[in-house]
Structures are given as structure tokens and as C-alpha cells.
Structure 1
Amino acid sequence: MSWLDETMVGFDTETTGVSTDHDRIVTAAVITRTGSDVSTRTWLIDPGVEIPARATEVHGITTAHAREHGVAPAEALEEIAEILASALSAGFPVVAFNAQFDLSLLESELARHGLVSLAARIPGGQVSPVVDPLVLDRHLDRYRRGKRKLIDLCTLYAVPVVADDLHAADADVLATLELVHALAAAFPAMGTSELADLHSQQIEAHRAWATHFAAFLKSKGTVDDLPRPEWPVAAPARAEASAEGADALF
């Protein structure tokens, strides 16, 4: 039986911006799916800072709404980290589109609030296995031109979505879970790979892409906001999220 037929745990956040070091989580969703059984947890968080207008345009959450209805960050972050750590410790993959952004931001938020890191909650300290359709599509169809946002890949792989629903964390997670199956149908080796091997392939695929893309950006005179080669969690840095990360979000 393929891992595609087993439990998968989808994860997504909506945020105050695109810096994994400095921005905050505003909403988050974790959806656990085993076959046709689906359970959903969502959080609305008061990030403790102003939510910029540009971010509100994306996800619809204003500072006033978050302050009135959101929970304290530490409470939500602890719950999110425990759910993800339990899944990873059991060998169930965490599925996230542009996983480096969401997982790196989660780790930064946990540190900011004095909570145990996600990595430290998992035996062996490795955030694994993770499945990221953005990394996989970029690797498996590397020469295809065009954008690779979530809506673009859903269109390409015939995953039905309502475009207006995307940028709500739970809608993004459901679309991403469907996208994993669509990708595996297009590239059957995905489903026959062991999760540990697939995770390792994504580490190398992302590193190769980030190194190449950073070199390209430098050749054009860009020295800031370069993509980080670590995956699925990037080490903290002064640089903002990569240009590709920002494009995938906005």
C-alpha cells in the first residue's frame, strides 16, 4: 500500500507578511485525512502586532478582528506544534505548499513565545517526513515555464478549487492535499517511493533550485531576499523570505 492511501496531515498559515523571521501567524489550519475521513482544526490568532493592509487584502483578517476574536499566540502555537509533532513522530507526512515558509515561520513563532521547537518535539529532532507539492512540481517538471502558485498548479493538474476560497488556510490545505494525489497520478514514482526517500529527494531538489535561483538573482544585481537552501525548515537569517516564497504566497 502506498503512503498516499495512509494518513496525511495538511498544514497552512496566513500571516502578517512574508518574513519567516519577523512576521506572525494570523490564521492556521491543520487537516488530517485518512481515506475519506477528514478532521479539521483551525485557529484565528491575535498576532500582537498590526496586520498590514496588504496582508489583509490577501486573507481578509483585519487587526481589529484578530484582536477581538483571536486567541493568544502561545496557546494556538502549542496546539499546532503538538498536532504536527505527533503526526511526524508517528511517521505520517505533513503536507504543505511551500512548506519551508510555513514550517520556518512556525519555528520562529515558537521561539518568540518561549515554546519548545517543533524539531525538539520529534524523536531524532528532524522535521520529517514532509511532502511539498511546490518543491516536487519544480523538480519533476523543472523546465515548464509559467508561474507555480497554488492556483496555477491546481489548474495545471485539474484540481477543482474555487479561486476566491484560496488564501483561507483551510481551503489551501484541502487543495494541497488534492494536489499531492494529482501530482502522484502524473508522476507515479512519487507514490511508490518510501516517504523517507521522498523527503530526502525534496531536500536535494530544493537545495539545487535555491542555489541556482540565487545565482541567477545575483547575476541580475539582487543581493537581498535570496532563497534559502535549507528545507523544510530554513535557519533564521536577517534576510526576508525569498522572492519565490513571497510570490507563492501573494
Structure 2
Amino acid sequence: MTTPAQLPDWLTRVGVFDLETTGVDVTSDRIVTAHVGVLDRHGREIAARDWLADPGIAIPDGATAVHGVTTEHARARGRPAHEVVAEVSSALRMLFAQGMPIVAYNASYDFSLLAHEAARHGIPVLSAPQPIIDPLVIDKAYDRYRRGKRTLSVVAEHYAVPLDAAHEASADAVAAGRVALALARAYPLPGTATELHTQQIGWARDQAASLTEYFISVGRLDPQETLDGSWPIRT
């Protein structure tokens, strides 16, 4: 284990990944914008690439209100969805091949939606991506009883990480990476990225079970319903 305020050696560089989409259903919604980058140990972005896709469907007004991309803009300026999905998948695959951990906030959303998009377009799916660092899962595990929301903007503020353009893929990806570095300085993370990845699988499952119990108790779920705690790809 590492001591607080000391980054483990495997955090010298981390990949960062974020999607903005047409909605929140990982099986049917589509990618609108994407960002893949690399941060150094100081949180400086030393490599980056952005994509704008034409998702092939209308972007709902509610989604546009979040990320600012309209259907008209995506159709006029966006690239074909299958090209974007292929290139994003390839960029992530290259970082994983280098042994680099990739940070994604609420990773099971982004990686699950990307997997469904890949399958939709006949592109090889990142079926078991690892190692992944999910600041949402880690923050909940180490600071379980802190009150308040756990959105990226709230958690970034808690760890004194600037986030000036929330819901822009590049800003969210970089902020998530910097939150991951802040968590590594605040808490004794495991000694390898692989160990942390494995622990997050259990943490995410337990967190989903706990939230399921709470939602049933307040009437937001029926007693026979459960939240999917699969991580980093939802089943």
C-alpha cells in the first residue's frame, strides 16, 4: 500500500476518457462527443484527441441542454459515427496495450455505451477493458458516509480540482483524471493498477446493492428490482 500524499509509481501517467451522448441508456443512446487524453503525474495533459460524431439520430433537447451540441451542428460538422467509434476504441486499446490505467468517471456508463456502439457498427468491442480507475467508485469506497451528491462537479470541488466547463468531454475527462490523482494522494490505494481495478469490481457491486436497498426503502424501486452493479461493463 502507498501512504497518503505519495503517488504510486503506476500513476506516473494515466489515460483519461469521457463521452457526451444523446442520453443515459447505454444500450440505445449514441456518442456525440468523445475525448481521450494522457495526464502526467502533475495532472498536466500531455496528449489529447477530441471527436465530434453525427450520431445518426436526433439529439434530444435535454441532451443538448447538457453538452451544447445540437442535431444540426452534429450533422453539419460531425464525422460518421462508425468512424468515431472505431477511432475512440482504437485510442483506448493503444493506451491499455501500453499498460496505462485509464480514468473514467462513472466508468461503467462510458465503457458500456462504447461497447454497445461498437457492436452496433460491427467494430471489435473492448469487452474486458483494464486497468480502469473510476473516481466515483473509489470516492464512495473511501469516504462512504460523506453527505451530498457525487456528481463529477461536486466531487471535483471537494478535492479542489477546477472544472470550468462541466459536461464538455475534454473538461470532464481531464477533471476526472485530476480527481483520481487527488484520491491517490488522499488515500492508501493498492500497490498496482491491476489490484485497484479488481477492488473496484467488488466496490461497485456493493455500492449498487446498498443503493438498491435504499431505493426500495424510499419507494423508488420495487422490492424485486435491483440496480446493475457490474463494472466496468454493465451486463
Question: Is residue 2:82 matched to residue 1:74?
Answer: yes
Structure 2 counterpart of 1:240: none
- Map 1:1-250 onto structure 2 (within 5 A): 2-5=9-12, 7-35=13-41, 36=44, 38-119=46-127, 126-162=128-164, 165-187=165-187, 189-190=188-189, 193-221=191-219, 222-223=221-222, 226-235=226-235
Residue number in structure 1 paired with 2:3? none
The offset of 1:24, in angstroms, is 0.5
**More deviation, 44-53/209-218:** 209-218
Which residue does the alignment assign to 1:239?
none
Give 1:96 shift: 0.4
Shift of 1:80: 0.6
Distance in structure 2 (CA, Å) of the matches to 1:230 and 1:83: 24
- The answer as to whether partners of 2:115 and 2:126 remain within 8 angstroms in 1 is yes
| 3-state SS of paired residue (2:153) | helix
Instruction: Answer yes or no: is the 8 Å Cα contact 1:81–1:118 preserved in 2.
Output: yes
- Residues of 2 paired with 1:158 and 1:34: CA distance? 18
1:63 CA drift (Å): 0.3
Which amino acid is 2:26 matched to?
Answer: T
With over 3 angstroms needed to count, the CA separation of the structure-2 counterparts of 1:226 and 1:101, relative to structure 1, is farther
Counterpart residue identity of residue 124, structure 2: V
Amino acid at match of 1:2: D
Is the CA contact 1:217–1:226 (under 8 Å) kept in the aligned structure 2? no
TM-score by length of 1: 0.85
Would the aligned equivalents of 1:131 and 1:199 in 2 still touch at CA under 8 Å?
yes
Please give the alpha-carbon distance, in whole angstroms, between the structure 2 residues aligned to 1:37 and 1:101.
Answer: 23
Mapped partners of 2:14, 2:143: distance in 1: 23
Which deviates further from its counterpart, 17-26 or 35-44?
Answer: 35-44
The 2-side partners of 1:112 and 1:225 are apart by 28
Q: Which runs of 5 or more residues in structure 1 are unaligned? A: 120-125, 236-250
Instruction: Report the aligned-residue RMSD.
Output: 1.6
Distance across 2 between alignment mates of 1:193 and 1:48: 43
Tell me, yes or no, if the aligned pair for 1:94 and 1:131 is still in contact at 8 Å. Answer: yes
Distance 1:102 1:225, change over 3 A: farther
CA distance in 1: counterparts of 2:177 and 2:214, whole angstroms: 31
> How far apart are the structure 1 equivalents of 2:99 and 2:48?
19
Q: How many percent identity over aligned positions?
A: 42
1:86-144 residue CA offsets vs partner (Å, 9 max, x unmatched): 2112211110000000000000000111111112xxxxxx3110000000000000011
CA contact under 8 A between 2:209 and 2:226: conserved in structure 1? no
The Cα of 1:225 is off from its aligned counterpart by 8.4
Secondary structure at the aligned position of 2:79 is classed as coil
Judging by fraction of residues, say which structure has more helix.
1
